[in-house]
Chains A and B, each alone.
Chain A
Amino acid sequence: DAMVIQNPRYQVTQFGKPVTLSCSQTLNHNVMYWYQQKSSQAPKLLFHYYDKDFNNEADTPDNFQSRRPNTSFCFLDIRSPGLGDAAMYLCATSGTRKGYNEQFFGPGTRLTVL
């Protein structure tokens, strides 16, 4: 089945220790997104790739970076995690069919910062 896969599902890191979260998709979608979601809050878009074009949200901290080496994979790098970065990180994809841009989400990676 076509899907969005995130690894790992749970990640524990130490304060200030770089961490990378990964996302892969078999949907062959052009667009890939990274969201941060804190408890009982809406998903907050960090950035997205339209093919190889990177689109950063204005309020995304510099501490967050992303890479998309090919269509299938996208990575979220947190250079120096702080306690406030503990959250669920959601990857999503969408195609570019005009007017129908529903997003397909992975199961998320829950990040704990000690």
Chain B
Amino acid sequence: SQQGEEDPQALSIQEGENATMNCSYKTSINNLQWYRQNSGRGLVHLILIRSNEREKHSGRLRVTLDTSKKSSSLLITASRAADTASYFCATDAAQGAQKLVFGQGTRLTINP
């Protein structure tokens, strides 16, 4: 069953603007992760936020987690053309299985 749902499905902004993507999930989690996928390539891990954390930063990335609402957001500040990619959230079950369930992804386009 689908764990993560993301919105928007597609987002197009101008270079330099901030991009925000949201992810919702259904069950308890250990952590939530965000991945980037450039067209035709594998996924690249961006950031992991644990269930007891509320906010995390990494460079131009800011991730928030609200476990009461079962939702997370990824903010990319000062976007660049190279940020054009699909972004997926992924959650693991709190039972500790070594599996991730990916959301449907947000396709981000940065226009120069």
**A interface with B by C-beta (< 8 Å):** 4, 6, 31, 33, 40-43, 45, 48, 50, 88, 90, 92, 94, 96, 98-108, 110
Contact = CB atoms under 8 A, between A and B. Distances in A.
Interface stretch (B55-63, B72-80, B100-108): B100-108
Interface string B17-36: 00000000000001101010
SS class, residues of chain B in contact with chain A: strand
A37 to B, nearest CB: 9
Contact of A101 (B4, B98, B105): B98
Contacts of A4: 42
A39 to B, nearest CB: 10
Given A105-B43, A107-B41, A107-B42, A48 B98 contact: yes
B41 A102 contact: no
Given A101-B100, A108-B40, A42 B48 contact: no
Nearest to B92: A101
Contacts of A99: 30-31, 50
Contact of A102 (B45, B101, B107): B45
Contacts of A50: 98
